[in-house]
Structure 1
């Protein structure tokens, strides 16, 4: 029904406006007591779907990627659609509007999206307040730096976000791979990235000691556009800094083999959706094989079907995340993936 009726209607309108309309609708349906109906339609609860990674128990391995619930206002309602975890953000210390509109584009022929949002968010302290209510699902905190913060001061921004969210998220994601903040991807280079992750690990130990609680898992989100040499550096950095895992991958700046109109293809920003599927899977497989599976990997990029999800797991992903596939295929995709996992386990 979603693909036949709901999606064609929604796709008549500006994608960013539809995003906020979807937020309002989900919130409204929950407020009028329809969360139970939504759960009955989309949620699968089965012990066989559970996954234990970096000291956390995930109800199922299908999560919602960062960028959908940037300001942590809808995570409980989104869990009703069957997600095993929800990642909020990317969050920055200070609120920022992001890049000028229009900044979100559908490439319908390619089942893809180009975005150049630019870390638009209400600031980490606002999100921390939103997270004070009880969580129905595991929450990841995706953190970044403000646009106007120079790279040589970026560590301060990440530490501010880390401290503000420490009590209220289950794991952290260090985002140095968005193409929409000028110069951000330079932080993926070996020296600055190692320094950043080491500082976060020190802060992690300090806060956990002070609060007499467990340290929080830290994951690194990487770009799909890294070379094999750079990916080998990532493996070394993960093992050296002893962070907990990698999310592969963020959006791509590549525009290879697209079918959409040339004016759309030329829009600046990160590309997500089906054209990213093969490259993200390649990165997952490379990291898994070259590291001898020495750390967990969350796979994201181009998952539009249960088969796409299973391919990510076979390549070496321990968990997966959806974003563009959730937009194009609808909330039923989460259930289809979890049913496919159970079917595969039964063979």
Structure 2
């Protein structure tokens, strides 16, 4: 669940429910999605939790993709752990695990004003047997730490039963005899205000310690004290992190791994991704530009120029000589028969032209600012939208008319795309971000991202609907009211006219679908603080499509409110998204 959906859609509703109900609703819903055959792909599409190899580390024989983990306190019933494994965590804590279930334990107390969760001493637990059953259903993607609680004999039994699933153990007892039970690392939990003398003894006995607490300052001080005692031992922290900056401070002070607790709830599920992007921003990145980006850029340029040419035709001749050949009549006859037919076709072709111009601008920006910098998400956005656009050519013949000019255009674009695709096939770069704080600009950006995601989904939905109409009934009711003729009257005048108009409709629908995917995926994957080019891509890229779509309706007198309502809605969403996103995307360090 990305932050834009969590904060804008779900959190306002969940705060009205009890903590237990809201937690289980979210976790079970996420788990249901993760359990689908394509569930992991859906989660990745919406949240894209990828991690750079530059953040990898190895501690006590265990490899981590990144140093950010999730505390078991967040999901004690393991109702969402299958989903959590796909959310980009470097490791996940399971538990606390007890021999017998303890489902009637006192529930956590949520303090929304201080943004803290106070967990009781006796945690909820589903018991050892049910925990093992759940672990067998999880497709392991990162190390799992088992946090076990109970008597000495029970801990001995649990370690034996869990050893095939565990990469390490977390215990709350200072008994040194546990280290003889397994070859895997054992970390002991200590409160953030523990005395230094106790910490010295624990360091000599266990693989490392976990500093557990609510106060960031106390945890930070404890990490600094521990680092002075023995810099070779592993230090983990649990709690105290609500912003990326706090995680970076703990890691800079000497913590090897950090676990999110209440910060995950109040700051949102995207906190993990934000921390990893901030960490990567401090790592030196390869500076050489990616080969093949220029081919992708030329691909976008050709679409842009093709859109300009289509715009010119829509403002002048409207239909071309080969269209007249297909109709077996001159355009003057169409003007004389019903001038609104020609105006309606100009409307279709101008909206297609504006969409192509917008798409070309977006493709060029993705190539120059994304693919050139080796960003994998930029390449995938380009590839998905381009392939859908190429396949759209088959919609043109859905009603019996194949436009050879479109085929020539398709063949012209294809070599540039294929060359760019091949040259960038090994691109693996992940995004960075300057975002460190939960400041107002970040809070406003969540609304901005939501609006652009909504805009992208709207374009995709609209493109699909228009494409379907283009290869089936062709017109919506308001179209026929504008033309002032029925389909039978049009066909009786010229039996090929319907196919020509359908070809235009399907072409526009395909283009709108492709551009909608561009907007949607950039909003989902490219929304990092300081990405000024993303804001300008939305701004400049959106203008041609909106200007042509709205202008042409007024120019030809097709101003039916219900017909233009989707365009009005999309334009308002577009403007509002630009306004609330500006500070976050355009400024490296907004106030």
Deviation at 1:129, TM superposition (A): 2.6
For residues 53-132 of structure 1, the aligned pairs below 5 Å read 53-100=59-106, 103-116=107-120, 118-132=122-136
Deviation at 1:314, TM superposition (A): 1.3
Residues 1:236 and 2:201 aligned together: yes
TM-score (norm 1): 0.75
Question: The residue matched to 1:94 in structure 2 has which SS?
Answer: coil
Question: The residue matched to 1:109 in structure 2 has which SS?
Answer: coil
Structure 1 residues without counterparts, runs of 5 or longer: 146-153, 177-192, 205-214, 252-271
Deviation at 1:217, TM superposition (A): 0.8
Question: The residue matched to 2:123 in structure 1 has which SS?
Answer: coil
Alignment RMSD, CA only? 1.9
Q: Residue 140 of structure 2 is aligned with which of 107, 121, 135?
A: 135
Residue pair 2:24, 2:79 contacting (<8 A) in 1 also: no
Q: Residue 31 of structure 2 is aligned with which of 3, 17, 27?
A: 27
Counterpart Cα distance in 2 of 1:220 and 1:236: 11
Deviation at 1:325, TM superposition (A): 0.8
Counterpart Cα distance in 2 of 1:305 and 1:246: 23
Question: The residue matched to 2:73 in structure 1 has which SS?
Answer: coil
Aligned to 1:247: 210
Tell me which of the two structures has the higher relative contact order, counting C-alpha pairs closer than 8 angstroms and 6 or more residues apart: 1
Question: The residue matched to 1:142 in structure 2 has which SS?
Answer: strand
Residue pair 1:104, 1:117 contacting (<8 A) in 2 also: no
Instruction: Report Cα offsets for 1:207-243 as digits up to 9, x if no partner.
Output: xxxxxxxx111111111232xxx2322222321x2x2
Aligned to 2:158: 161
Counterpart Cα distance in 1 of 2:236 and 2:78: 20
Deviation at 1:72, TM superposition (A): 4.1
Residue pair 1:42, 1:331 contacting (<8 A) in 2 also: no
Aligned to 2:359: none
Note closer, same or farther for the CA distance 1:247–1:308 as it changes in structure 2 (3 Å cut). Answer: same
Aligned to 1:286: 225
Counterpart Cα distance in 2 of 1:76 and 1:51: 23
For residues 239-278 of structure 1, the aligned pairs below 5 Å read 239=204, 241=205, 243-249=206-212, 251=213, 272=214, 276-278=215-217
Question: The residue matched to 1:43 in structure 2 has which SS?
Answer: coil
Aligned to 1:221: 189
Q: Which moved more, 1:63-72 or 1:327-336?
A: 63-72
Note closer, same or farther for the CA distance 1:132–1:4 as it changes in structure 2 (3 Å cut). Answer: closer
Note closer, same or farther for the CA distance 1:76–1:99 as it changes in structure 2 (3 Å cut). Answer: closer
Aligned to 2:170: 173
Matched positions, count:
278
Note closer, same or farther for the CA distance 1:92–1:29 as it changes in structure 2 (3 Å cut). Answer: same
Deviation at 1:73, TM superposition (A): 4.9
Deviation at 1:168, TM superposition (A): 1.1
Which structure has more helix as a fraction of its residues? Answer: 2
For residues 286-325 of structure 1, the aligned pairs below 5 Å read 286-291=225-230, 293-325=231-263
Question: The residue matched to 1:331 in structure 2 has which SS?
Answer: coil
Note closer, same or farther for the CA distance 1:303–1:53 as it changes in structure 2 (3 Å cut). Answer: same
Structure 2 residues without counterparts, runs of 5 or longer: 286-591
Which protein has the larger Cα radius of gyration, Structure 1 or Structure 2?
2
Residue pair 1:106, 1:114 contacting (<8 A) in 2 also: yes
Counterpart Cα distance in 2 of 1:157 and 1:225: 28
TM-score (norm 2): 0.45
Q: Where do 4+ consecutive residues of structure 1 move more than 6 Å?
A: none
Deviation at 1:285, TM superposition (A): 1.2
Which structure has more strand as a fraction of its residues? Answer: 1
Question: The residue matched to 2:249 in structure 1 has which SS?
Answer: helix
Residue pair 1:232, 1:290 contacting (<8 A) in 2 also: no
Deviation at 1:136, TM superposition (A): 1.9
